[in-house]
Chains A and B, each alone.
Chain A
Amino acid sequence: MFLTKLAIKNLVRHRNRSIFTSIIIAMAILIYIFFDSLIGGMSELSYETIIDYESAHLQIVDKNYWEAKDELALDNLFTIDERVLEGVKNLTGILAGSRELNFSALLSNGIDNLPVMGKGIIPEEYLKVFALEKQFVEGDIFQPGDYKAVLGKRLAELLDLGVGDYITLLVKDNNNTFNTIDVEIAGLLHTSNPNVNQNIVYLPLDLAQQALSVGEQVSKILIRIENKDQASRLAEELGLNLIKANSNLAVYSWEELEAFSFLGAAVLEKQVILAIILVIAAIAIINTVILAALERLEEIGMMKAMGLQNREIVYTFVLESTGIGIIGGIIGIVLGIITIWFLSVYGMDFEALYGVDMASFGLPILGKIYAAWNPAAFIEVFVFGVLVSLLASILPAYWAADKDPVESIYHR
């Protein structure tokens, strides 16, 4: 108890040095919290942008199609019969489903061409699964049977197109013969998903099926569910239901998409930051303990003369350092809360700040990133900082405690 009191008195003894060390630790903690919430914010955003505009929560696809889904080939499509629909409808937790026919095409304005991804959709179904309805900056969606298309405003700008203009899509149909689709632009979209903005052209499903000679077949059924955390479970259950109808079909959840793999990289990044905190905090603490010990050599010598054991002297130093770690941790957390609050309300515009397009890093993000709250990270990094402070002080404290008391007292 007395040693604890002594440690606390020592902590406030060199107030400036203690505070300085605390602030170093606080800054390291703040950096971690900042990155953690930003990575959290990016993940949130990219989950949303991919789920809301591209992948939905679940996809019903032919197994062979899934293997090579990026090729957008026209084999391994499937027809929807009653039994498939039954399998989907009989599951609680599912909100809506939508058919989609994917194909590759060359978009032309008559002068220039751009490769695009075509999507044949039924608007009524599609808008229940995807959040496109409010993203129209001009015009509107088409109706089944229309010779009309919807595309991203960016894509339109690249080809100098606007609502009411005509475009031609060059496609290769199921018989490997070239075919063209001539349609009028019905509406232009702008979303937070760069793929939707500059790569995709939406067409009525019947029109696409006809042009590609695939009959009634589609590539996928996309499904929106109530709770995205239930995706894996529902995928499994739905898969079992569908096997009876068509044994080639399988159900995949959004988590299985490669687009989310960058989050693994983010976790690695966090560990790197933790390692940096470790080094910074450890150096600060070791430095502080050594300075304090050198200053207090005589006292330490006296304490040994009074019969204190080495470990008791170590205890006072370790406690002092832990105190510094706790103060640093608290300052770091408080600054972290302020920063995160600010960034969660106002967001951070990477494009405006650095002129970088996150999409070019493979992050499907446009516009501002808003910090995400992650209280677990606060607790983790606090405990981590305090623990590092504690552990880093042990060795230099032993060094100090092991000094010869005669030499310390007599300055020999």
Chain B
Amino acid sequence: MALLELKGVRKIYRQGQIEVPALRGVDLQVDEGEFTTVFGPSGSGKTTMLNMIGCLDKPSSGTIIFNGKELNELSKKDLAMIRRFNIGFIFQSYNLIPVLTAYENVEFAIRLINKYDNKEIRERVLKILAAVGLEGMENRRPHELSGGQKQRVAIARALVKEPKLVLADEPTANLDSKTSEEVLKVMVKMNKELGTTFIFSTHDPLVMDYARRMLEIRDGLIAEDRRREEINVSD
């Protein structure tokens, strides 16, 4: 069974009298463990789609089934609980909490799921920070980190609770190409090691090389859905 299924998903934003259709009927299935890129120009509807998959927004019509549950039927509280336990977010602007250190930003996410004792939490946080290449920087505050490092913290934060799905909305848009590559490699590596399902959006053609599945989105519709052979990413 697919981890995620979208059926005829539409989203219309209303700006006063004008209706802006952001998604115009999206059908999609994503299986567990997939590493998918959503590619398309600015304004094509990538963010809108990711936010609806991530339970942050609701479609105007159509259904989304995530992990066997139909999201339409759930309350705000239930949706928050799905995000808390099953979804990790990575945003373009990192969105770390400035008063918390790298370690604490990651710790925050794992504390929320109330699953591990203090010792285990510590081990897991340190391990994931090391895995994203931030060993020795645990005690730095966000303002003491570079853009790439901040995004690594955000990746660690999204992954530490071992969610079913990680949604990354243009995670490399604020990074230079070298750093972008590094961050993408980290995501690919985590996908391989942990089997976490990733969906990330981008409008940068270079970034697409890292995906095994590529969805091209244009004017709120999926224009192309391609799969490729396993790609090998060297460290």
Contact = CB atoms under 8 A, between A and B. Distances in A.
Nearest to B76: A310
B57 A309 contact: no
Contacts of B87: 307
A379 interface: no
Contact of A306 (B47, B83, B99, B100): B83
B56 A299 contact: no
A304 B84 CA distance: 9
Interface string A279-305: 000000000000000000011011111
Q: Is the interface of A mostly helix, strand, loop or mixed?
A: helix
Nearest to B54: A305
B56 A308 contact: no
Interface stretch (A6-14, A84-92, A346-354): A6-14
B100 A9 contact: yes
Contacts of B136: none
B183 to A, nearest CB: 18
A303 B93 CA distance: 14
Interface stretch (B32-40, B103-111, B192-200): B103-111
A324 to B, nearest CB: 16
A229 B138 CA distance: 66
A410 interface: yes
A307 B108 contact: no
A402 to B, nearest CB: 10
Contacts of A304: 56, 80, 83
Given A302-B95, A409-B95, A307 B84 contact: yes
A31 to B, nearest CB: 33
Interface string A303-326: 111111100000000000000000
Interface in B54-70: 54, 56-57
B80 A307 contact: yes
A305 B99 contact: no
A408 to B, nearest CB: 10
Contact of B85 (A10, A13, A307): A307
Contact of B56 (A6, A9, A303, A406): A406
B51 interface: yes
A361 interface: no
Contacts of B130: none
A2 B107 contact: yes
A306 B56 contact: no
Contacts of A10: 99
B2 interface: no
Given A6-B99, A298-B93, A306-B108, 17 more contacts: A2-B107, A2-B111, A9-B99, A13-B99, A302-B91, A302-B95, A304-B83, A305-B54, A305-B56, A305-B83, A305-B91, A307-B87, A308-B80, A308-B112, A406-B51, A409-B91, A409-B93
